[in-house]
């Protein structure tokens, strides 16, 4: 029989041993945007709050090329870069970045030429948001919800920037994110992390992963540099998922039954000249079995066709992409097209023992709402903010991290599916099948049932901080023609007047901003010439 005192002593010793394993050395495996955002976020946090006793090391192979299609960001990127101590002027100039103010979805509802709606980045103004939506329902207007609640649709349609040259770095007149060159972005972050944040950069192939007696990673054996020891290992090795997937055998959960797209063809498109206009938003144009993204950098356009291979073959998908490009490119056949396989889904968990996966090693979804770099940012930020001091704390933080990000991945999948399942197109099986109940997550079905009788609210979601707020759902739902029944409680005269006043205020703001903001191209040229004001 086991002596309960001996058992208690054994558990106490194990706990004491775990507490002695302090987290002093963080090792990130893999570069690219995911690796360097993670390195910069953690190093900036540690440098700001701690004097010594820590190192951040990034090790990457010289033989792995970046995927390089994650060119769309969220407004969170402004905070991420600012926290690293990066000047916005330097970032824009070095990464060929441009301003992004949302997404325009064309031909997603009926497929007709006049079919489009916007998902802007500006949240609706006004303290009585639901009242605004309810008033919009009852108003005799053909103005879209996004145009009624925000000036950003008009700003984007006019190709205008979200700020002035006199606006301070990272400040906004209209909320914005960026389009960027992923390859140049990684190199830019690398230089900043090494030169300013003291990240140790090693180039070598990892040939073995060595566990300690408790199953935690103790070190990595490299081909040229020997063993690299660490306390926390972050897997940024892309689709390979060298640490979490291959070493720890953490399973992968596919969502291909919900999101059908599994292939992309990407191409870089030059501008006609240096004065060509730059779209101030992502343009997402639906095709027969998927959609085409079109984003404008300062130096070129990034265009690609995301599609489901069981509904269209590669040749026909490329033909649809070339037909789209023919409207703006004189010699389409001179361009170089690159095929990218997509396996939509994510790991069953993201943090195991002392290993956490960030970026493509954690999972990947089609780039419909630019969630890839966002997930990198918020993952890296959570690690930095809740960095466990020892292994006892690490187990607690790991569970919290896994619970948080399993929830976030599920909500992103729901939101992307929303774009597809509300379509009214009957021209292909792809769009018809996206409306099948069997392909719609139960969680999304429940919300849609609720939203048939009431306007989406932030209270419909269980977490205090959501990836997509209720306003995002509203823009997509009502942009695609979803109908919420009239409330049994009509607005009183005070709310009606307040809503009308807010509508008029938005009209005035729209006129003022569209009449004064520079074009996207103009502002980028001014930034190159003069730079933005420091914060």
Domain ranges of the chain: 22-96+179-255+345-411
Q: Quote the tokens at residue 378.
A: 């918020």
What does DSSP say about strands 102-106 and 282-286: parallel, antiparallel, or unpaired?
A: parallel
- DSSP single-letter state for residue 439: G
Instruction: Give me the mean pLDDT over the 523-531 stretch.
Output: 95
- Whole-number Å distance between alpha carbons of 212 and 210: 7
Which residue would you say has higher pLDDT here, 492 or 422?
A: 422
Report the phi/psi class of residue 221: left, alpha or beta, with left for phi > 0 and alpha for psi in -120 to 50: beta
CA–CA gap between residue 431 and residue 429 (Å, rounded): 6
- Structure tokens that stand for 345 in this block: 């889904």
DSSP 8-state code for residue 492: P
Looking up tokens 């730079």 gives 531
pLDDT digits (tens, 9 = 90+) for 69-108: 558 999 999 999 999 999 999 999 999 999 999 999 999 9
**How does DSSP classify residue 69?**
-
Distance CA 502, CA 128 (A): 10
CATH code, 22-96+179-255+345-411: 3.50.50.60
Mean pLDDT across 29-47 = 96
Q: Whole-model pTM? A: 0.93
Q: pLDDT tier at 17 (50, 70, 90 boundaries)?
A: low
Task: State residue 290's pLDDT score.
Answer: 98
The CA distance from 238 to 359, in Å, is 7
Q: Identify the residue whose tokens are 């002695």.
A: 20
Provide the β-strand partners of residue 351: 356
| pLDDT for 5 beyond 50 | no
pLDDT at 168: 96
Handedness of CA 220, 223, 226, 228 (dihedral sign): negative
pLDDT band at 331 (very low <50, low <70, confident <90, very high): very high
Q: How confident is the model at residue 497 (pLDDT cuts 50, 70, 90)?
A: confident
529, pLDDT greater than 80: yes
Query: Can you give the pLDDT at residue 18?
Result: 56
Of 349, 360, 356, 363, nearest to 388 by C-alpha is 356
At 43-56, the pLDDT tens digits run 999 998 876 789 99
Residue whose token pair is 């739902």: 477
Structure token digits, residue 354: 């002392």
| Beta-sheet strands, E only, within 77-203 | 98-100, 102-106, 116-120, 177-179, 200-203
**Average pLDDT of span 497-518:** 92
Q: Both ends of the chain: CA-CA distance in Å?
A: 68
Q: At what angle do helices 442-451 and 470-479 cross, to 10 degrees?
A: 80
**Whole-number Å distance between alpha carbons of 434 and 428:** 10
Q: Which helix or strand (DSSP H or E) is residue 145 part of? A: helix 145-149
CA distances from 334 to 268, 298, 317, 464 (A): 11, 21, 17, 50
Q: Which of the two residues, 5 and 18, has the higher pLDDT score?
A: 18
Asked whether 223 and 207 are in contact (CB, 8 A), the reply is yes
Q: What is the dihedral of CA 400, 403, 404, 407, to 10 degrees?
A: -170
The per-residue pLDDT for 13 is 43
Question: 101-141 pLDDT, tens per residue?
Answer: 999 999 999 999 999 999 999 988 765 667 888 888 877 66
Q: Are 167 and 190 in contact (CB under 8 A)?
A: no
Instruction: Return the top range by mean pLDDT from 7-16, 206-215, 500-509.
Output: 206-215
Tell me which range, 250-259, 271-280, 496-505, is most confidently predicted by mean pLDDT: 250-259
**Per-residue confidence (pLDDT) for residue 268, from 0 to 100:** 94
pLDDT value for 489: 84
Model confidence at 291, pLDDT cuts 50, 70, 90, reads: very high
Q: 453-465 b/e with 16+ CB inside 10 Å = b?
A: eebbbeeebeeee
∠ CA 168-171-175 to the nearest 5 degrees?
Answer: 145
Q: Given a cut of 50, is residue 15 above it in pLDDT? A: no
Q: Is the pLDDT of residue 506 over 70?
A: yes
pLDDT for residue 493: 83
């Amino acid at each position: 029989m086991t002596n309960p005192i001996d058992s208690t002593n054994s558990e106490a010793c194990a706990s004491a041993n775990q507490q002695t394993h302090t987290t002093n050395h963080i090792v990130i495996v893999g570069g690219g945007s995911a690796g360097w955002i993670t390195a910069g976020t953690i190093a900036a946090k540690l440098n700001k709050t701690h004097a010594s006793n820590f190192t951040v090391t990034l090790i990457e192979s010289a033989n792995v090329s970046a995927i390089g299609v994650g060119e769309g960001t969220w407004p969170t990127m402004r905070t991420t870069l600012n926290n690293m101590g990066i000047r916005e002027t330097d970032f824009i100039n070095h990464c060929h970045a441009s301003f992004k103010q949302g997404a325009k979805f064309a031909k997603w509802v009926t497929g007709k030429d006049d079919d489009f709606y916007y998902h802007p980045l500006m949240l609706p103004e006004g303290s009585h948001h639901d009242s605004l939506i309810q008033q919009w329902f009852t108003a005799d207007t053909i103005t879209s919800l996004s145009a009624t609640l925000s000036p950003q649709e008009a700003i984007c349609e006019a190709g205008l920037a979200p700020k002035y040259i006199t606006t301070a770095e990272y400040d906004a007149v209209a909320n914005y994110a960026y389009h960027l060159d992923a390859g140049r972005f990684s190199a830019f972050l690398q230089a900043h992390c090494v030169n300013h944040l003291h990240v140790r950069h090693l180039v070598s192939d990892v040939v073995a992963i060595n566990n300690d007696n408790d199953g935690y990673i103790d070190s990595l054996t490299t081909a040229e540099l020997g063993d690299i020891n660490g306390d926390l290992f972050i897997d940024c090795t892309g689709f390979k998922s060298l640490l979490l997937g291959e070493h720890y055998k953490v399973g992968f959960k596919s969502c291909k039954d919900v999101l059908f797209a599994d292939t992309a063809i990407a191409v870089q498109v030059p501008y006609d000249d240096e004065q060509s206009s730059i779209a101030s938003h992502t343009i997402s144009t639906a095709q027969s079995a998927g959609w085409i993204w079109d984003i404008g950098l300062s130096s070129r356009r990034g265009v690609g066709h995301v599609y489901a291979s069981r509904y269209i073959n590669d040749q026909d998908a490329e033909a649809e992409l070339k037909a789209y490009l023919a409207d703006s490119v004189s010699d389409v056949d001179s361009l170089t097209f690159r095929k990218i396989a997509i396996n939509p889904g994510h790991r069953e968990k993201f943090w195991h023992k002392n290993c956490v996966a960030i970026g493509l090693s954690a999972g990947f979804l089609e780039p419909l709402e630019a969630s890839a770099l966002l997930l990198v940012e918020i993952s890296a930020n959570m690690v930095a903010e809740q960095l466990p001091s020892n292994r006892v704390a690490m187990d607690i933080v790991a569970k919290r991290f896994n619970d948080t990000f399993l929830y976030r991945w599920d909500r992103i999948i729901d939101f992307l599916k929303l774009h597809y399942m509300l379509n009214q197109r009957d021209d292909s099986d792809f769009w018809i099948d996206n409306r099948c109940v069997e392909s719609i997550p139960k969680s999304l079905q429940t919300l849609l049932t609720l939203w048939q009788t009431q306007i989406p609210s932030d209270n419909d979601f269980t977490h205090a901080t959501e990836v997509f707020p209720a306003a995002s759902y509203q823009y997509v739902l009502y942009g695609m023609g979803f109908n919420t029944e009239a409330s049994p409680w009509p607005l009183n005269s005070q709310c009606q007047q307040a809503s009308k006043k807010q509508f008029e205020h938005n009209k005035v703001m729209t006129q003022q901003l569209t009449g004064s903001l520079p074009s996207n191209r103009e502002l980028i040229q001014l930034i190159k010439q003069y730079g933005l004001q420091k914060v």
